[in-house]
Amino acid sequence: MTFSAVEIESPVGKLTLIADEKSLRGVLWENDELLPKFLAKKTKAAKNLILSRAKKQLHEYFSGKRKTFDIPIHFEGTKFQKRVWNSLRKIPYGKTQSYSGLAKTVGSPKACRAVGAANSKNPISIFVPCHRVIGADGKLVGFGGGLNNKEVLLNLESSWNGA
């Protein structure tokens, strides 16, 4: 399997989008530990329609014109990680959920730390909104893109959501 990649500038810094011919496989931050794994399989595809669509939808998201994404995605992970990541996709735009709430949602109410670990391994940031998960006390905790960027994303969604 080979991947195509494109870098984009965004309000939260440089992001690298990774896709195969059928699905988005990664939205990675500059210092993301998954970046070398994906780029090792990178090819020089002339044009990747998934990347073009993903790039367009991210620009719409950052400008407040898009609240949901309709790009096909593909996860590589354990069954538990995939359950967590799929649950992240159900957190509504402009809303947040605690790690304990997410643990209940995936059917493992005592697995807050495991949910946090799975959340931290989410390879498709923003499209799979791990930034919407917060601490039980409402504080911003843990985010691969950094807490400043988590705050930017949540504020962006809050402002465009009319909250």
130 flagged as catalytic: yes
Q: DSSP states of 85-143 as a string?
A: HHHHTTSPTT--EEHHHHHHHTT-TT-HHHHHHHHHT-SBTTTS-GGGEE-TTS-----
Amino acid found at 26? G
CA distance 135 to 156: 19
Strand partners, 98: 134
- Residues listed for the chain: 163
CA distance 122 to 111: 17
Determine which one of 28, 34, 128, 130 is catalytic.
Answer: 130
Active-site positions read 130
